[in-house]
Amino acid sequence: MSGQYLNTLTENASRLGMRIQESFSEHTRDLTVGRGSVAYLDADDKSKLLNIRKQLDSNSDREKLDAMKRLVALISKGRNVSEYFAQVVKNVASQNLEIRKLVYIYLLRYAEQEPDLALLSINTFQKDLADSNPLIRAMALRVLSGIRVPMIGSIVVLAIKKCAADPSPYVRKAAALAIPKCYELDSSHLPALIQIITTLLRDRSPPSLGGVALAFAAVCPTRFDLLHLQYRRLCKILPDVDEWGQVELMNLLLRYARVMLPRRDEEELDKDLQLLLTSTESVCYSRNPAVVLAATRVFYYGAPTSQLPKIVHPLLRLLNTSPEVERVVVVYLLVITKSAPGLFAPFYSRFLVRSDDFPQLKKDKIKLLLNVLSVDNYQTVLREFIDYADDTNDEVVAEAIRALGRCARQVPDSVQHCLTALISMIKSPHDVVVSNAVLVLKYLVQTQLDVGSSSVARTSQSPLSIISHLARRIDDIKHAQARACILWLVGQYGSSNSRDGVAEWAPDVLRKTAKTFGDEAPLVKLQIVTLAAKLFIVSPTDRTLGLLSRYVFSLARYDMNYDVRDRARMVTSLLVGVAPNSLVNGDEQPEERSGVVLRREQIRLVLFEGKSGVVNDEPSHLDGTDDENVMIGTVSVITDKPMRMDDVLPDWLERGVESSLRDSEDDAPPLDVPMALSSGGKHVMKGVLTPPVVLTPSGGSSPRTGGAWRDLDSFYADAEEESEDEEEEDGDDEEDDEEEEEEEEEEESEAEEEESQSEGERNS
């Protein structure tokens, strides 16, 4: 009996123990999982993957969450997990927000592939749009507009419309951001979307305005007529908008200003333009580099030149934000300094190259230093260029040495300094330094000789003495291009100043190179042949020179390279008139020539003349005169490659539209100044009421974006509508600042009328 009891007792006890252990291990398993999600990323066994389906169908939120995390981890690894779509969609209405967020992430990736199944989730989203939590409303709209299923286009439009009237600015922002996506999906919804944009533009709270500006640019970038009434308010509210919105809004306002405001004028600045500039100026205090740059664009492309100094310090500040930002901003500075070099010249020391800069940044900084080069700072900048020739990057070295040449051209006083530096560089053990220095020297010498003796006299080192210096060092210079360059210089100028003979150092160069002819590069061989011909023609009577030349010609005649053979043949036949016998070997007696035999002077002409043209160094894209294609604030100027959707700023209109079009009740004395938390806006109330009495609205003064009228009827219809508009505006101003609500209503009706008008225009 007691044994039986004991038995059941132990049995129960062990069962209980097992149960406890089970649940315990289950919990501890969760704990280990909870310790880090890294387990999801690393887990790769097949059994777990098979389990996902079951987990998603289970009742436990924990299991579902686990499965969703696993799926997202797989997405992260680049796996295609669209096969679970059906199971995932079922969880879209989950009460757990975390599960739901993960489901959203999944849906946005795969909805396009499974449009039919995605439709199952639409109902839930529509229900969510009425949720009490703004976060859920916004999220539902975001996913709804993000699912790229064209079938639901009209549902999305309805959803956007609903959210555009939402009490929460966060949801209204989501609505604005959904507009471009909806338009991209199905452009036939354009009229409805434009209407929503018009509503949203009237939004009084700053957060949503950035999104609206973005939607405007994407959906109806030329419908500036919608902005007339909002322009001044948008300008004033700009400092209170969030940083990302500020960027979009400034781009929009700048384009509006260029289309609708009178051209920037030094003396009399349009007050609406001034309003924009004043607001923009306070935005320059932002810590966000993108905002500062957008503000710079407004000033650079919108402000008269007298106001440009305002962007100098904010831009200089950006240089210190991060190396990546510096890399980009320096290119923009290159563009700006091209048109206004004086603006940044006093701050050249901020552009000095550091050895840990990006190579591209170093090159751009060198160009920038050249742009701001002036009589005041050339000494320091020159010394910098000389230092940069020690850089470890070959391209930077080349750029620095080329810059020395440019420096000598831009500031004549610096020629002497440049020449000394370049000549000392020839002694460098590094190939790249020598070759670049020689190329630049050649260029400098040529320009010097071209200019004439006046400038030559000023420098103690005459171009000829430089050439002689180079000639003496021909043995040390190994780089093929540099050698060829020196040989050419020697040939071209080795004889110019002496009456009939050659300069004393020239024949020696020929002697040395004739000895090494076999080992030279083809490029150098060509120049040796040319040098021989030139020297020979200058003093044909010199026996040694004659023999040397003959030696060189015969070597070249049997060279492996056919260019060299060609050159030799050409030169020997050219010289045949001067020395028919001495140049050609005895066994190869010249057959009778059918061509013309040139006299010595003629040959001289052929060999020497027309070679002095100075070849400029390669032009960069920023040197071009077509500045219209080079815009600051674009990728294409950074990468120097055209991008699609090139964002072209509209050109200024000569006169702009009537400023009265922009009059709205907001211009009345401030009644409802929004609680300006950052109060960045100086809320300039300069826009005093101008009497908007335009009794006879002239169509010509307000350019239409909609195009020309097609027939008289629509023209008259339009004119009538417009005069109605004007009358209403008159009324507005008389009422002035009493009873805001009424005014608002009126404004709405007015705007609606404008809409219908513009719609009519498009339809016609």
Partner 1 sequence: MGIDGLIVLDKTGRPIIQSGFRSASTAYPLLHVDAFNHALDNARRPADVDPVLYIPSYNTIQSPSACCHIPCADMRFLCPISGNIDPLFAFAFLQTFTDILHEYFGTLSAATLKENFDVVYQLLEETLDSGGHPLTTSPNALRDIVLPPSLLTKLLSVAGANINTTINSGSGLGSAGGPFSSSIPWRKAGLKYSSNEIYFDMVEKLEAIVNKHGVTLSSSVWGKIQTNTRLTGTPDCLLTFTNPHVLADCAFHPCVRLQRWTRDKCLSFIPPDGQFILADYRFAPNTSTTLNPRFVPPTSSTSSPSAAISNLAKDNIAIPLSIKSIFDLEDLSASFEIILTSRTTRPIENLNIEMDLGQGAGGIKCIASRGSGGLTRGGIGGMDVGISGTSGASWSFDTKKKVLRWGIPNLPPSSSWSLQGSFSTSTSTPRPSHALQVRFEIQSHTYSALKVEQLKISGEQYKPYKGVRGRSVGNIEWRW
Q: Kindly state whether residue 641 participates in binding partner 1, applying the rule CB under 8 A.
A: yes
Q: Kindly state whether residue 177 participates in binding partner 1, applying the rule CB under 8 A.
A: yes
Q: Kindly state whether residue 279 participates in binding partner 1, applying the rule CB under 8 A.
A: no
Cα dihedral sign, 300-303-307-313:
negative
Name residues contacting partner 1, limited to 24-43 (CB under 8 A): 27, 30-31, 34-38, 40-42
Closest listed residue to residue 57, CA positions, set 29, 23, 7, 94: 94
Burial class (CB in 10 A: 0-12, 13-18, 19+), 454: exposed
CA distance 194 to 116: 29
Closest listed residue to residue 678, CA positions, set 342, 241, 383, 349: 241
Q: Which of 151, 155, 285, 649 binds partner 1 (CB under 8 A)?
A: 285
Closest listed residue to residue 420, CA positions, set 383, 381, 367, 451: 383
# residues contacting partner 1 (CB under 8 A) = 134
CA distance 107 to 92: 9
Amino acid at 587: D
Least separation in angstroms between CB 321 and partner 1: 8
Amino acid at 655: R
Structure tokens at 471: 């000639």
Name residues contacting partner 1, limited to 314-343 (CB under 8 A): 314, 316-318, 320, 322-325, 327-329, 342-343
Q: Kindly state whether residue 96 participates in binding partner 1, applying the rule CB under 8 A.
A: yes
Q: Kindly state whether residue 691 participates in binding partner 1, applying the rule CB under 8 A.
A: no
Binding track, positions 112-131, relative to partner 1; x by CB under 8 A:
-------------------x
Which segments of 389-521 does DSSP mark as H helices, in order?
A: 394-410, 415-425, 431-451, 453-458, 463-472, 480-493, 506-515
Candidate ranges 288-296, 582-590, 603-611, 687-695; the one touching partner 1 (CB under 8 A): 288-296
Q: Which of 11, 265, 387, 476 binds partner 1 (CB under 8 A)?
A: 387
| Shorter beta-carbon distance to partner 1: residue 93 or 598 | 93
Closest listed residue to residue 207, CA positions, set 159, 156, 166, 147: 166
Looking from the CA of 14 toward its CB, the CA atoms found within 13 Å total 5
| Shorter beta-carbon distance to partner 1: residue 219 or 657 | 219
Q: Kindly state whether residue 302 participates in binding partner 1, applying the rule CB under 8 A.
A: no
Closest listed residue to residue 411, CA positions, set 388, 454, 382: 382
Q: Kindly state whether residue 359 participates in binding partner 1, applying the rule CB under 8 A.
A: yes
Least separation in angstroms between CB 483 and partner 1: 19
Q: Which of 119, 120, 162, 170 binds partner 1 (CB under 8 A)?
A: 170
CA distance 222 to 475: 67
Name residues contacting partner 1, limited to 180-209 (CB under 8 A): 180-181, 207
CA distance 174 to 145: 10
Candidate ranges 266-274, 389-397, 561-569, 702-710; the one touching partner 1 (CB under 8 A): 389-397
Q: Kindly state whether residue 149 participates in binding partner 1, applying the rule CB under 8 A.
A: no
Rounded to the nearest 5 degrees, what angle is found at the Cα of 144, between the Cα atoms of 139 and 145?
100
| Shorter beta-carbon distance to partner 1: residue 91 or 659 | 91
Rounded to the nearest 5 degrees, what angle is found at the Cα of 298, between the Cα atoms of 316 and 655?
145
Q: Kindly state whether residue 356 participates in binding partner 1, applying the rule CB under 8 A.
A: yes
Length reported for the chain: 764
Q: Kindly state whether residue 269 participates in binding partner 1, applying the rule CB under 8 A.
A: no
Beta-bridge partners for 653 = 262
Binding track, positions 573-612, relative to partner 1; x by CB under 8 A:
----------------------------------------
Please check whether residue 412 is in contact with residue 460, taking contact to mean a CB–CB distance below 8 angstroms.
Answer: no
Candidate ranges 103-111, 403-411, 486-494, 730-738; the one touching partner 1 (CB under 8 A): 103-111
Q: Which of 119, 158, 269, 345 binds partner 1 (CB under 8 A)?
A: 345
Least separation in angstroms between CB 208 and partner 1: 12
Q: Which of 151, 199, 243, 301 binds partner 1 (CB under 8 A)?
A: 243
Q: Kindly state whether residue 443 participates in binding partner 1, applying the rule CB under 8 A.
A: no
Name residues contacting partner 1, limited to 501-520 (CB under 8 A): none
Beta-bridge partners for 262 = 653
DSSP-based three-state secondary structure for 498 = coil
Please, what's the largest Cα pairwise distance for the chain?
143
Q: Kindly state whether residue 78 participates in binding partner 1, applying the rule CB under 8 A.
A: yes
Phi–psi pair at 653, nearest 5 degrees: -90, 150
CA distance 355 to 369: 16
Q: Which of 23, 76, 222, 424 binds partner 1 (CB under 8 A)?
A: 76
Q: Which of 56, 67, 73, 571 binds partner 1 (CB under 8 A)?
A: 73
Least separation in angstroms between CB 43 and partner 1: 12
| Shorter beta-carbon distance to partner 1: residue 348 or 553 | 348
Q: Which of 199, 377, 416, 496 binds partner 1 (CB under 8 A)?
A: 377
Which segments of 473-558 does DSSP mark as H helices, in order?
A: 480-493, 506-515, 522-538, 543-557
| Shorter beta-carbon distance to partner 1: residue 51 or 282 | 282
DSSP-based three-state secondary structure for 449 = helix
CA distance 465 to 462: 5
| Shorter beta-carbon distance to partner 1: residue 76 or 581 | 76
Structure tokens at 672: 């409802």
Closest listed residue to residue 245, CA positions, set 212, 222, 200: 212
Candidate ranges 64-72, 221-229, 726-734, 735-743; the one touching partner 1 (CB under 8 A): 64-72
Q: Kindly state whether residue 638 participates in binding partner 1, applying the rule CB under 8 A.
A: yes
Candidate ranges 1-9, 278-286, 492-500, 649-657; the one touching partner 1 (CB under 8 A): 278-286
Q: Which of 133, 187, 222, 749 binds partner 1 (CB under 8 A)?
A: 133
Q: Kindly state whether residue 310 participates in binding partner 1, applying the rule CB under 8 A.
A: yes
Candidate ranges 6-14, 289-297, 501-509, 555-563; the one touching partner 1 (CB under 8 A): 289-297
| Shorter beta-carbon distance to partner 1: residue 131 or 651 | 131
| Shorter beta-carbon distance to partner 1: residue 35 or 46 | 35
Please check whether residue 350 is in contact with residue 357, taking contact to mean a CB–CB distance below 8 angstroms.
Answer: no
Phi–psi pair at 262, nearest 5 degrees: -65, 150
Q: Which of 634, 659, 664, 757 binds partner 1 (CB under 8 A)?
A: 634
| Shorter beta-carbon distance to partner 1: residue 476 or 563 | 476
Least separation in angstroms between CB 125 and partner 1: 15
